[in-house]
Amino acid sequence: MALALRDLVAQRPLDLRVLASEHALDREIAWVHPTELADPTAFLDGGELLLTTGLTIDDVSVTDYVRRLVAAGVTGVGFGSGLSHAEVPHALIDAAAEQGLPLVEVPHGTPFIAITKAVSAAVAADEYAAVVRTGKGQQELTRTALSRRGPGALVRKLARLVDAWALLLDSSGVVREAAPASARSRADALRAELRQVRAGSRLATVDGDEVLLQALSTRGRGFLAVGAPAGLDNADRHIVTTAASLLSLSLEQDRVHGESLRGLRSGLAALLLAGQQKLALDTIGTVFGSLSGPPWQVVSLLGHARARAAAMDVLETELPRVFAAEHDDGVLVIGDDVAGVTRLAERISGLHAGVASTADIEAGYRQAHQAADAARTAGKPVLRYDEHAAGGLLGLLAPEMALAFADRMLAPLRDHDAAGRGELLTSLRCWLEHNGHWDRAATQLGVHRHTLRNRLAKVTQLIDRDLDSPGVRAELWLALHAEG
């Protein structure tokens, strides 16, 4: 921090005495400027401690003289007494007090050069401290980048180093990382400013904070925004520039790595669907984690390129229990979290999902793809292959015949449920939807698997049919769909 006028006055060897506006002594001194000009404002930048002996002060209006200095942003005036004037003129003291300009008396025994040296030493120390802080900040950011903990770690480290909030945003202004998390709320106010940043940096005022916006040098573009109520000093800005460079490098590496992984995913999907199931599954287990099955839960996602890309972003980062890969004009997904995958079709506009459960991944993908295509045609977000197939068969039957068939198959179960003795129809539908998987169906129903087994045993007893028979399961599925 630069030397404040109060700190200069506190240096006893200088023997300075405050004569006016003591309340304003916390102003920082940028430099010292000795002058005897009646109007020195053309030579001032603001922030100076102006030193004078008042050689020409009697030739001008003291009030106008002080007003000009205040307008020029002078930090204060040091008046050397015992030379042109035996003491500081009372008119100058009154004018300085009236306009809030600090005025200190420099006694005859204190040379002006002593004040200049004191301020120069403080400025040099401040600049050195800024260089040291910048260097340490850059080292800490570099260590964080080398730790490969990702862009989020860099953003959090930056926020701590400059004592400010920080946001990493993509090219459209969507927040990728925030420190602290509450800083995400500032993104909306920043978007209008981001449109003004083509390259380099830009200062803006947003919600009362001074914000430094830095464009990132990445192929996908992006921005770093750092803000604080008091703004950032030069050292802070150097640290932010370093962070922006490291983030650009990190994001570009992530992009290249991501493209390589997506290529590997697509290659493995091609192997899966070309009859090399064991080789592909072994590799998937080694690189991405093992998949449970068979039976395999297979999902096909169809949609325009942007929808598929958005789905892949979520699948890669938020759903670790699935394997996903782009294949032909869609996305192949295999794994346990089918509900999480199908929710993407509801979240992402233009995306449609088809679901199949099978012991053969290649056949399952064909089924899921057909269901996804049917969902897209019907304008539905999700369609299971069983529903699609059942709907196709039901379409071959007259409505009254389909209802009669359903009534004959399901009447005993409906009567049982109507008597308040169980939930056989709901349990049967859920069990069939999960392809006879007891644990998954029981979990969705919220009951113990033994309870579900007892219910399905009751179904077997009432309809006098073997549920282990694929034909019986198909007939029951058709009957359930016929009733809606």
Spatial neighbors of 154 by CB under 8 A, at least 6 apart, are 141, 144, 145, 243, 246, 247, 250
Shared domain check, 238 and 158: yes
| 227 or 262, greater pLDDT | 227
- Let me know if residue 288 belongs to a domain: yes
Question: Are both 288 and 379 inside the same structural domain?
Answer: yes
Dist CA 415 CA 474 (whole Å): 22
| Same domain, yes or no: 248 and 146 | yes
Residue at 261 is within a domain: no
Q: Are 462 and 416 in contact (CB under 8 A)?
A: yes
The mean per-residue pLDDT over the stretch 467-479 comes to 76
Confidence check: pLDDT of 116 > 80 = yes
Say yes or no: 282 and 247 in one domain: no
CA 97 to chain centre: 51
- What pLDDT is stored for residue 8 in this prediction? 93
Q: Does residue 215 lie within any of the structural domains?
A: yes
| Of residues 13 and 359, more confidently modeled | 13
What Cα–Cα distance (Å) separates residue 296 from each residue in 180, 336, 365? 41, 8, 10
CATH classification of the domain holding 303: 3.30.70.100
In this structure, the answer to whether residues 9 and 31 fall within a common structural domain is yes
Q: Are residues 219 and 291 in the same domain?
A: no
Residue that is last in its domain, among 194, 218, 252: 252
Q: Is the pLDDT of residue 64 over 90?
A: yes
117, two tokens: 């040296």
Q: Which residue has the tokens 């200190």?
A: 104
**pLDDT score at 269:** 80
Task: Kindly state the percentage of the chain with pLDDT values over 70.
Answer: 90
272, with CB counted inside 10 A (0-12, 13-18, 19+), is buried
Question: Is 391 within a domain?
Answer: no
Give the per-residue pLDDT at 292: 73
Structural domain tally of the chain?
4
Q: Is the pLDDT of residue 98 over 90?
A: yes
Structure confidence at residue 80 (pLDDT): 94
Given a cut of 70, is residue 41 above it in pLDDT? yes
The whole-number pLDDT of residue 396 equals: 46
| CATH number reported for the structural domain that contains residue 200 in this entry | 3.30.450.40
Instruction: Tell how strand 330-335 and strand 296-303 pair up.
Output: antiparallel
The answer on 143 and 104 residing in a single domain is no
Q: CATH code at 19?
A: 3.40.1390.20
User: Which tokens go with 172?
Assistant: 């459209």
- The Cα–Cα gap between 202 and 207 comes to 16
Query: 362 CB contacts (<8 Å, ≥6 apart)?
Result: 272, 273, 274, 275, 277
Q: Is 327 inside any structural domain?
A: yes
- Of the two residues 9 and 202, the one the predictor is more confident about is 9
Domain-located, residue 390: no
DSSP-assigned beta bridge partners for residue 327: 330
Per-residue pLDDT for 299 more than 80?
yes
Per-residue pLDDT reduced to its tens digit, 329-338: 888 888 877 7
Say which residue the tokens 């694929």 belong to: 470
Q: Which amino acid is at 441?
A: A
398 or 125, greater pLDDT: 125
| Residue 478 tokens, joined | 């058709």
* Residues 302 and 356 sit within 8 Å (Cβ to Cβ): no
Query: Model pTM?
Result: 0.46
How many other CB atoms are there within 10 angstroms of residue 122's CB atom? 19
Which of 138-144's residues contact partners 24+ apart within 8 Å by CB, and which partners?
A: 138/238, 138/239, 138/242, 141/239, 141/242, 141/243, 141/246, 142/242, 142/246
pLDDT at 197 over 70: yes
Same structural domain, 459 and 357: no
| pLDDT in the model for residue 484 | 58
394-443 residue pLDDT tens: 544 555 665 676 777 788 888 888 877 668 888 888 888 777 888 878 88
Kindly indicate the confidence band of residue 482, based on its pLDDT and cuts at 50, 70 and 90. Answer: low
- 143 shares its domain with 234: yes
Q: Report the pLDDT averaged over residues 443-457.
A: 88
Over residues 148-173, the pLDDT tens digits come to 777 888 899 999 998 999 998 887 78
**Three-class SS state of 82:** coil
Q: Each residue of 246-258: pLDDT tens digit?
A: 888 877 766 666 6
By residue range, what is the domain housing residue 136?
130-252
Please enumerate in sequence order all residues whose Cβ is within 8 A of that of 269, keeping only pairs 6 or more positions apart, or say none.
280, 325, 326, 327, 332
Residue by residue, DSSP assigns 262-308 as HHHHHHHHHHHTTT-HHHHHHHHHHHT-----SSEEEEEEEE-HHHH
> Are 242 and 147 within one domain?
yes
Same domain, 377 and 431: no
* SS3 of residue 228 by DSSP: strand
373: confidence class by pLDDT, cuts 50, 70, 90: confident
Segment 190-196 shows an average pLDDT of 80
CA nearest neighbour of 300 among 366, 347, 359, 379: 366
Same-domain check for residues 282 and 380:
yes
252: enclosing H helix or E strand: helix 234-272
The answer to the question of residue 257 being in a domain is: no
CATH number assigned to the domain comprising residue 432: 1.10.10.2840
Percentage of the chain exceeding pLDDT 90:
24
Domain boundary among 201, 235, 252: 252
Give start and end residues of each alpha helix (H) in 395-469.
Answer: 399-418, 424-433, 438-445, 449-463
Of the three residues 52, 81, 110, the one that is the final residue of a domain is 110
Assigned domain for 408 exists: yes
Question: Confidence class of residue 107 from pLDDT cuts 50, 70 and 90?
Answer: very high
Sign of CA dihedral 343, 344, 346, 351: negative
